[in-house]
Amino acid sequence: MLLFSAFISGLGLGSMYGLLALGFYVTYSVSGTVNFSQGSSMMLGAVLCYTFTITLGWGMAAGIGFALVLCALWGAVVERLAVRPFVRGGSNAWLMSTVAIGIILENVALFWYGNEPRGLPSALVRDLVDIAGLGVYPLQLAIPVTGLAIAFALQFLSRRTRHGKAFLAVVQNQDAARLMGINVSRAITASFAVSTVFAGIAGILIAPLFNVSADMGTLFGIKAFAVAILGGITSAWGVMVAGLVYGLVEATVTALLGSPYTQIVTFALVIVALAAMPNGLFGQAGVKKV
């Protein structure tokens, strides 16, 4: 029973790690960079949703919609300010600049929103549903379903729509894509916007369960990054599966050993996994050409 409850919560958290990690995958595959402020983007989605629905009293749909639009805009801002200036010359400076912009966002949110966590009420956490003798909130089931649905949608859209195919073209060969008339820098900006929207969705989904606070994103973002790395940041499905595995392992460790050991064991496993498979569980080392 304990393990089953761990299974449900692990699945939920894991799919959210996976969703954030999909954001890492999207930007990395298009541009070779990651948005290290992904965790704060998640917090942004939750905080904005709270502001629109609770503070301003808008309806859920409007609140969520506007929150995600602003998340997308933030993603574009991050790309323009913290990534694009540093990608030329092959430097790694975008790593630290996205860390910096994440710190800035988190602290601005702290000043504006305050540092007490606040709950976000939701119809999906009002009544428990009985699953095999265990009381579960409908939201806890909705979360993994939503996460997987988004992963599916990403796969489908990238293969079936024109914009999706353009995105795949940029992933495979930036120069050829440019020659085919695809606006590569717009594709990169769009990829950052998409990744922050994913993070925002994840933040909004878990907010009713975990409360909204300015620092809810940092550790989450770091774990999601571990998930992206483990999944092999070049594979969308790998990243999603890695997220689920990570969530399940984390929940199991918490159930069996207690929460103080969760971070230690899971991070140690991350190091061991990377030592064994430097390209992640599903990634492949590309063939280098010199």
Partner 1 sequence: MSWARPLALAALLGGVLAFSFVANSYHLFVLTTVALTAMVGAGLNVLLGLTGQVSLGHVGFYAIGAYATAILTTTYGMSFWPALAAAAVLAGAIGVVLALPALRVSGPYLAMVTIAFGFIVEHGATEWRGLTGGANGILNIPPPTLFGYELGERDVAQLAVGFAVLLFALFRCLERSPWGLAMRAVRDSEVAAGAIGLNSVAVRTAAFALSAIAAGLAGAQFSPLTSFVSPSSFSFFQSVLFVLVVIVGGVGRVLGPLAGAAVVVLLPEFLAKSAEYRLLFFGILLLAVLWLAPEGIVGALAHRFGRPRQTAASGGGVDVPAWLAERATGAALAVEGLGISFGGLRALDELAFAARGGQVTSLIGPNGAGKTTVLNLVCGFYRPDQGSVRLGDRPISRLPSHLVARAGVARTYQTSQLFARMSVIDNLLIALRRGRLGSLAAALVLPPRDAELRRVAESLLAFVGSGGPRGGPPRGLAHWGKRQVDIAPAR
- Binding-site member from 56, 108, 123, 131 for partner 1 (CB under 8 A): 108
For residues 217 and 203, the answer to whether their CB atoms sit within 8 Å is yes
- Binding-site member from 1, 61, 132, 287 for partner 1 (CB under 8 A): 287
Q: Which lies closer to partner 1 via its Cβ, residue 148 or residue 274? A: 274
Per 3-state DSSP, what percentage of the chain is helix, strand, and coil (rounded to 5)? 75, 5, 20
Pairing between strand 129-131 and 134-136?
antiparallel
Window of 59-67, 105-113, 194-202, 235-243 that interacts with partner 1 by CB under 8 A:
105-113
Q: Is 93 in the site for partner 1 (CB under 8 A)?
A: yes
Here the tokens at position 264 are 């230690």
Here the tokens at position 239 are 């990243």
Q: Is 261 in the site for partner 1 (CB under 8 A)?
A: yes
Q: Which lies closer to partner 1 via its Cβ, residue 208 or residue 231? A: 231
Beta bridge partners of 135: 130
How many CB atoms sit inside 10 A of residue 30's CB?
A: 23
Here the tokens at position 190 are 């769009």
Query: DSSP assignment of 170-212, as one string?
Result: HHH-HHHHHHTT--HHHHHHHHHHHHHHHHHHHHHHHHHHH-B
Q: Which lies closer to partner 1 via its Cβ, residue 145 or residue 268? A: 268
Residue 258 CB, nearest distance to partner 1 (Å)?
Answer: 9
Q: Is 116 in the site for partner 1 (CB under 8 A)?
A: no
Q: Is 21 in the site for partner 1 (CB under 8 A)?
A: no
Q: Is 285 in the site for partner 1 (CB under 8 A)?
A: no
Q: Is 271 in the site for partner 1 (CB under 8 A)?
A: yes
Q: Which of residues 219-258 bind partner 1 (CB under 8 A)?
A: 222, 225-226, 229, 233
30 Cβ contact list (under 8 Å, min separation 6): 167, 170, 171, 187, 188, 191
Q: Which lies closer to partner 1 via its Cβ, residue 57 or residue 286? A: 286
In angstroms, the first-to-last Cα distance of the chain is 56
Binding residues for partner 1 (CB under 8 A): 28, 34, 81-82, 85-86, 92-93, 95-97, 99-104, 106-108, 110-111, 218, 222, 225-226, 229, 233, 260-261, 263-264, 267-268, 270-272, 274-275, 278, 287-288, 290
